A and B are shown apart, each in its own frame.
Chain A
Amino acid sequence: MFFIRLFNYFKGYVAIIIEGVFPERFLNICARRGISLWNVKRLGKLSLRANVSVRGFRLLRPIAKKSRCGVKVSRRVGLRFYVHKHRKRKAFVFGAALFAVLLLVMTRFIWVIEVTGVHDLTRQQILEALEESGLKVGQLSAKINISDIQNTVITRQEKIAWLGITVKGTTAHVDVKERTSKPEIFPKDQPCSIYAGQSGVVESIEAQNGQRLVSAGDVVKQGQLLISGVLDSKTGLGVRYVHADGEVIARTWHEVSVPIASEEEVRRRTGRSKSKHMLKAFSLRIPLFFSDRVGFAGYDRVSEAKWLHIGKDTPLPFSFHYDKYYELEITRQPMERETAVAEAEAEARRQVAGIQIVSEQKEVTEDTVKITFECIENITQKQTVLREENHIGGEEP
């Protein structure tokens, strides 16, 4: 029913009053000529009220004459009558037209760029890279060539592995996949030897290529040659250079000492706060405050922004920014020893993160925490073999 009414409102209709001795005749002729009437109601002995479409109304005059009825318009309903009534109000019409045009124009641009998936890079870096490649706030969305932008950004910014751009309304969603930095790999075709990256006691050694120089149980120093890439030639003449490869697992000791803090910084909100509001239209900032000064020595800022939206995906370049400043009282307070020690210990542990710890020995003095970690780790470190120039390939059998 609601939709029928809405449809009728857009089409427009006329409520008429039919007066005559025999209005049934009027209804019959209307029906026969295909003019549909609805909501016909008896008003009195000689009169009826009915609704008729605008198109049907134009055909009523001869029917009224034929059925000897009088037809009066009692009400006009519909959009077209509303527009007709207000057509002389220039400012109103202008405003309505301007609204329609602005709405149409404004929704053709990108107003918000949303970036997801950044960890190591910053949002700002991504935005800059995008702007260089042709996607920025205020851009016509029709002019965005997504695959072009993706390609340029990926080639220019090495840390980005993949970039997904979806434009929805006035929002561009940018999904970034960062490249995980590869561990430095020694080129496979270059000869090298394996040295100890860490002093310790060798637990096991496995040489896939090269000559093993130490065995399990040996104590090695940092920088000591473990697997040599220089082999005696099979013919017994000269040497052969290979790419040494293997794994040397050793028991190592890491001594980490962390100073114990005696004081800590305590930040507490004093309860005083200030709010600053700002309107932003395009890049124009309209502050709704007089002085830029916050007036607090230390403060926390909580910012919020609300955008003017049309639907969910179509924000417009008008936003309301709401900044709240909470005054902070920053004091240095003596720290409780227990927590300070625990914090220092956690810091020490953080320094050996990723290494397998077998056992540990803690030593707490007045101002430092010293922990000796006994670990099991791979201590191999590849380095180019030092060699004389002539020995490349020449003497190989």
Chain B
Amino acid sequence: MKKSRKERMAELFDMPKEVVLDLPKLTVYGDSQLTVENYSGILQYTDEYIRLKTSGKAIAVSGKGLELRAITDVDVLIEGEILGIEYI
């Protein structure tokens, strides 16, 4: 896949991509905690399945006993037993 001009610029100047390219940034601790920064909305939330809207593909998190530990307008913190993270 050819990189866009913006992406190349970001790499050239070592700038954080989630800011320049408006990409989601995921931080996962083991299988128990996931932080998604730069998301744009919650599409679906149940304790076994969460879908988050981002600028690109939606992020789907499957697991057991999922909770939204904290929600703000820029990030969301998911806790529970995470079984899978998918881009759809």
Q: List 13 A-B contacts (CB under 8 A).
A: A24-B43, A24-B44, A27-B71, A31-B71, A38-B68, A38-B69, A39-B68, A40-B45, A40-B67, A40-B69, A42-B45, A42-B67, A50-B68
Q: Is there a chain A Cβ closer than 8 Å to B72's Cβ?
A: yes
Whether B46 contacts A36 by the Cβ 8 Å rule is: no
Query: With A24-B43, A24-B45 known to touch, is A41 a contact of B71 (CB < 8 Å)?
Result: no
The binding surface of chain B is classed by DSSP as strand
Q: Is there a chain B Cβ closer than 8 Å to A30's Cβ?
A: yes
Whether A28 contacts B69 by the Cβ 8 Å rule is: no
Collect the chain B residues with CB atoms within 8 Å of residue A37's CB.
68, 70-71
Q: Is there a chain B Cβ closer than 8 Å to A78's Cβ?
A: no
Q: Is there a chain B Cβ closer than 8 Å to A298's Cβ?
A: no
Q: Is there a chain B Cβ closer than 8 Å to A48's Cβ?
A: yes
Number of A-B contacts (CB under 8 A): 51
Collect the chain B residues with CB atoms within 8 Å of residue A36's CB.
70-72
Query: With A39-B67, A40-B67, A41-B67 known to touch, is A31 a contact of B72 (CB < 8 Å)?
Result: yes
Whether A32 contacts B42 by the Cβ 8 Å rule is: no
Whether B71 contacts A30 by the Cβ 8 Å rule is: yes
Query: With A40-B45, A41-B47, A48-B45 known to touch, is A27 a contact of B73 (CB < 8 Å)?
Result: no
Chain A residues within 8 Å of chain B by Cβ, number: 18
Q: Closest residue to B74 on the A side, CB-wise?
A: A31
Whether B71 contacts A38 by the Cβ 8 Å rule is: yes
Q: Is there a chain A Cβ closer than 8 Å to B63's Cβ?
A: no
**Bound complex: CA A36 to CA B71 (Å):** 6
Whether A23 contacts B73 by the Cβ 8 Å rule is: no
Partner of A39, one of B43, B69, B72: B69
Contact with A along B39-81 (1 / 0, CB 8 A): 0011111110000000000000000001111111100100000
Q: Is there a chain B Cβ closer than 8 Å to A34's Cβ?
A: yes
